[in-house]
Amino acid sequence: MEVTVNQKKLILVQGDITKQETDAIVNAANSRLAGGGGVDGAIHRAGGPKIAEECRKIGGCPTGKAVITSGGNLKAKYVIHAVGPVYRGGTHGEAELLKSAYLSSLEIAEQKGLRSISFPSISTGAYGYPIKEASQIALETVLDYLMEHKDSPLQEVYFVLYTPFDYSVYAETLRRLAEHK
Ligand code: AR6
C-alpha cells in the first residue's frame, strides 16, 4: 500500500528490513547501542561487525533520538539507529519519545541528503508498545514530515513490517489517516 504526499511516497511493505535497498534502513536500537534481539540482532547479523564497531565509537544515544553509521555489508549504505521508548503504560511520555525517534531519524536522513529510507515498527517488539497506537504515531509523524518538508531530498519512506498482522495494522491506520488528510 502507498500514499503520495508532495510527490513523495510513503510505502508499506511486509518483509525483512535487512533486505531493503533504500539509502538507509532504520534500526530499533537501545540507548547503549549495544545490539540485541529483534530487528537490531537481524541488522547486525546481516551487516557484519563494522556496524557494531561504529556504534561502540559513538558510545550511546538517548531515548527519542537517533545516530547514523555505515551499512556495513548491507545493501543500504547507512543504518540509522533510533531509540524508541520502553512502553510503561503510556503515561511516561512514551508517545512523545516515539514520535521524536522517528523525527530524529528523518532529520538525519535529510541532513545526509538521502532519497530513501526504511523504518521498522519501532518499540512494538521487546519494548512492548501497543502496535495500533504506535502505528498511528509512526505514520502520522512521517506524513506530517512529508507535508511540511516539500524541499527535503527524501522521496520514498518505507515501513517494512515483519509479520502479516503488523502489516494489516499499519495498513488500516494508514487508510484512516489518508482519509482525513
Ligand atoms: N525486519 C523488519 N522488522 C523486524 C525484523 C526484521 N528483520 N525483525 C523483527 N522485526 P524489536 P523494539 C520487528 O523488538 O521493540 C532489541 O533487543 C518486530 O516484529 O526489534 O524497539 C534492541 O537491542 C517488531 O514489530 O524492537 C532493543 O534492546 C519490530 O521489529 C530492543 O530490542 C520492533 O521489535 C528494542 O525493542
Of residues 16, 23, 40, 144, which has the active-site annotation? 40
Q: Whose CA is nearest to atom 21 of ligand 1?
A: 123
Within 10 angstroms of residue 72's Cβ, the number of other Cβ atoms is: 20
Would you call 40 a catalytic residue per the annotation?
A: yes
C-alpha cell at 48: 557484519
Are the beta carbons of 80 and 28 closer than 8 angstroms? no
123 in ligand 1 pocket by Cβ < 6 Å? yes
Mind listing the pLDDT tens digit for each residue in 39-56? 999 999 999 999 999 999
pLDDT digits (tens, 9 = 90+) for 122-150: 999 999 999 999 999 999 999 999 999 99
- The model's pLDDT over 46-96, given as tens digits with 9 standing for 90+, comes to 999 999 999 999 999 999 999 999 999 999 999 999 999 999 999 999 999
20 Cβ below 6 A of ligand 1: no
H/E stretch holding 81: strand 78-83
Q: What is the pTM of this model?
A: 0.98
Grid coordinates 551499512 are at which residue?
71
CA distance 125 to 122: 8
Ligand 1: does its nearest atom lie under 6 Å from the Cβ of 25?
Answer: no
